[in-house]
Amino acid sequence: MLTIPARPSRPGSGPGGDPAFHRAGTTVLGPRRRRRPRRRRPLLAAVAVALVPLAGLGLLQLWPGYLPPPSATRLVVDGYACQSPALVDPAGRVLMPFWTVRALFAPGLTLEAETMTAVISTRGLTIPMASAQATEFVNRAPVDLRLPVTTDASGALYVPADFFAELLGFTFSYFPESNTVVIDRLGLTVETVTVVSSPAFLRETPSLLSLRVSRLEEGDVLRVYDHVGSWLYARDTLGRLGYIPKKATAPGPPVTNRREERPVTLPPLADRLCLVWEHVSTANPDPARIGEMPGVNVVSPTWLHVMNSDGDVYNNADTAYVAWAHERGYRVWGLVTNGFSRDRTRNFLPDPALREKIIRQLLIYARLYRLDGFNMDFENMYLDQKDDYVALLRELAAVARPEGLTLSVDVTFHSSSEVWSRCYDRAALAEVSDFVMVMGYDQHTAGSPVSGPVGSLPWVEAGLERVLEEVPASKLVLGVPFYTRLWAEEPGRRPTVTTYSMQGVQDLIAEKGLTPVWDAAAGQNYIEFSENGVRYRLWVEDEASMAARVTLVERYGLAGLAAWRRGFEVPEVWEVIRQGLGLPED
């Protein structure tokens, strides 16, 4: 475990003398300018003399005023204030300055400028897993872990506090009342005192003439980090640092900082799986903006990608999203891709050592982010990689299952394409996985030479029947689209397409004053209009088309349904899915 010294080596410096820290109250009051003596009037002098015994310390308690609150979020590590501020984004995520983390916790932390990722090696660290088997496996060899770097308006670099808290062993809290982020290292024992007189004040410097930092009441508990004569240097419960007279306190028991393990308790999966994929390209969504999704029991964010031929995994996961999902009763299956690159995949997939490297990274990310499983979405692979892909899934399953992780894999319907269909050994993948998601869409892709639906009902049903010859219905999950395509047809030219969400289609219908008609052959509504010699055609994805797809789950006894992707749906479609799958409301 990486540690930093508990106390500064000299006043005004941080642990180990690091300049990233400064001591609260190191500013020294300068000498006052001399003034000419003024003649005091006898009456005023007599009044002043009479008031002094009555006021006493009371005047000092009323003066001077309070230290202004920080304009930027203060970052406090144990008993020291960092010079660089922390950052709290609109979703409430706490971010720490990259260079502060590197200087104080992780000297091996590097910045990969091309991908704007922070990279840290697990060399010298021990990652505890749930099972002894996985613990031995992930610590057998070091790997590099990656996470995105955020910049503020000034260009300063920031990294998520939660990632390093789990990895390097500290806790953190944000106190909006004081606009302060507090970092406490695990295992550090700190002296405490209790305030015995009220009111009392933390002050900027050890002087009754110093500005007040905070007001304290009798019974308040402070963490003490130094003794300075008759004063204590301490931290209050909102992370504010300052000095308090010893006589205003009584000794308390020492405290040792420990992490509170909060076990995740999720309801058992219903008889039917209802998964929605969460598309994440760069920034993660603000969970507060995600509406109700009745019936959903699994979310799968597109977080993990094998980014190069060396088997390095890019990570875009977010603990705030995981915490939100778990509070809602959703399991979180991190989606893992090969970047949809055939050549990259051919370089790493046949190599057992690189497969092991990938699996090691995935297991560590699952531990750090408290994932509940993985959804493997490798696409666009050479035909001769079919057995290598099965080997990757088999090897991952062997160490993932003892960790309680669910393993699912995405496949396409059968076609003649070697790289999009024949590269999957569906029967073997089903044998080593818990679920197989069949992507029941893209019958007509964006590059199709003819217009058509993304997945007509007869095409989906025929594809299901073929896959069911190799995959048990109890493991097969039907993938459905929340999107469709508007086709623009001009004589003598290949049609061009624009992708539309469900709401986008409804807006288009209202804008053009169209009336959808039912296309019995496709099993969905259809609209068409012409403008400037161009014919526009669109097969509508809506509640009606979704109801028809959901009936296939019941008819064939499938394990459930998975939708691509959240944000493309209209809210009403969730109730159609929930009722069709027979799932509870909560």
Mapping DSSP onto H, E and C, the string for 467-534 reads HCCCCCCCCEEEEEECEEEEEEECCCCCCEEEEEEHHHHHHHHHHHCCCCEEECCCCEEEEEEEECCE
CA distances from 409 to 93, 202, 391, 435, 477 (A): 31, 57, 13, 7, 10
- Would you give the DSSP letter of residue 8? B
Q: How far apart are CA 496 and CA 72, in angstroms?
A: 49
Q: Which residues are registered as beta bridge partners of 497? A: 487
Q: How far apart are CA 363 and CA 127, in angstroms?
A: 10
Residue 367 included in any domain:
yes
Concatenate the DSSP letters of all residues of 295-322 into one string. T--EEEE--EEE-STT--EEE---HHHH
Q: Supply the CATH number for residue 216's domain.
A: 2.30.30.40
- Whether residues 219 and 289 fall in one domain: no
- Would you give the DSSP letter of residue 14? -
- Whether residues 202 and 288 fall in one domain: no
Kindly report the backbone phi and psi dihedral angles of residue 417, in degrees, each rounded to the nearest multiple of 5, phi listed first: -70, 125
Q: How far apart are CA 297 and CA 306, in angstroms?
A: 27
Per the listing, tokens 């299952």 go with 401
Residue 150 included in any domain:
no
Q: Which residues are registered as beta bridge partners of 278? A: 301
Sign of CA dihedral 213, 217, 220, 222: positive
- How many CA atoms lie less than 13 Å away from 240 in the CB half-sphere? 25
Q: State the Rg of the chain over Cα.
A: 31
Name which of 474, 437, 417 is nearest 564 in CA terms. 437
Residue 175 included in any domain:
no
- Whether residues 406 and 477 fall in one domain: yes
Amino acid letter at 368?
L
Token pair of 48 as six digits: 């002043």
CA torsion, ordered 565, 567, 570, 576, to nearest 10 deg: 40
- Determine the longest span between alpha carbons in the chain, in angstroms: 109
Q: How far apart are CA 236 and CA 428, in angstroms?
A: 59
Q: How far apart are CA 97 and CA 91, in angstroms?
A: 18
Per the listing, tokens 């219903």 go with 270
Domain boundary residue, one of 256, 281, 298: 256
Residue 73 included in any domain:
no
Q: How far apart are CA 313 and CA 406, in angstroms?
A: 19
- Would you give the DSSP letter of residue 64? S
Residues 74, 86: contact at Cβ < 8 Å? yes
- Whether residues 302 and 414 fall in one domain: yes
- Whether residues 378 and 231 fall in one domain: no
Token pair of 311 as six digits: 């088997």
Token pair of 242 as six digits: 């300052």
Q: Which residues are registered as beta bridge partners of 282? A: none
Residue 505 included in any domain:
no
Token pair of 30 as six digits: 């300068």
- Cite the DSSP H helix spans in 83-202: 98-104, 132-138, 161-168
Residue 46 neighbours by CB under 8 Å, 6+ apart: none
Residues of the chain with pLDDT below 50 are 1-20, 22, 24-40, 43-60
C-alpha of 369 from chain center: 8
Q: Supply the CATH number for residue 391's domain.
A: 3.20.20.80
**pLDDT of res. 90:** 86
CA torsion, ordered 464, 469, 474, 480, to nearest 10 deg: -20
Residues 446, 405: contact at Cβ < 8 Å? no
Strands (E), 338-452: 373-377, 406-411, 435-439
**pLDDT of res. 479:** 98
Domain boundary residue, one of 256, 283, 299: 256
Cβ neighbours of 119 (radius 10 Å):
16
Mapping DSSP to helix (H, G, I), strand (E, B) and coil, where does residue 548 land? helix
- Whether residues 236 and 351 fall in one domain: no
CA distances from 553 to 254, 411, 582 (A): 59, 17, 11
CA distances from 488 to 431, 446, 449, 524, 537 (A): 43, 11, 12, 19, 7
**pLDDT of res. 21:** 54
- Whether residues 434 and 576 fall in one domain: yes
Residues constituting the chain: 586
Structural domain harbouring 197: 189-256
Mapping DSSP to helix (H, G, I), strand (E, B) and coil, where does residue 567 land? coil
Q: How far apart are CA 293 and CA 565, in angstroms?
A: 12
Residue 425 included in any domain:
yes
- Whether residues 222 and 330 fall in one domain: no
**pLDDT of res. 63:** 63
Number of structural domains in the chain = 2
The secondary structure element, H or E, covering residue 112 is strand 110-112
Domain boundary residue, one of 256, 282, 302: 256
Token pair of 29 as six digits: 């009051």
Residue 225 included in any domain:
yes
- How many CA atoms lie less than 13 Å away from 73 in the CB half-sphere? 22
- Whether residues 284 and 367 fall in one domain: yes
- Whether residues 248 and 324 fall in one domain: no
Name which of 326, 328, 317, 279 is nearest 166 in CA terms. 317
Residue 398 included in any domain:
yes
- Burial class of residue 205 in the structure, from the number of CB atoms within 10 Å of its CB (0-12 exposed, 13-18 middle, 19+ buried): buried
- Whether residues 219 and 318 fall in one domain: no
Token pair of 205 as six digits: 């410097």
- Whether residues 314 and 431 fall in one domain: yes
Angle at 255 between CA 249 and CA 258, to 5 degrees: 150
**pLDDT of res. 42:** 52
**pLDDT of res. 16:** 35
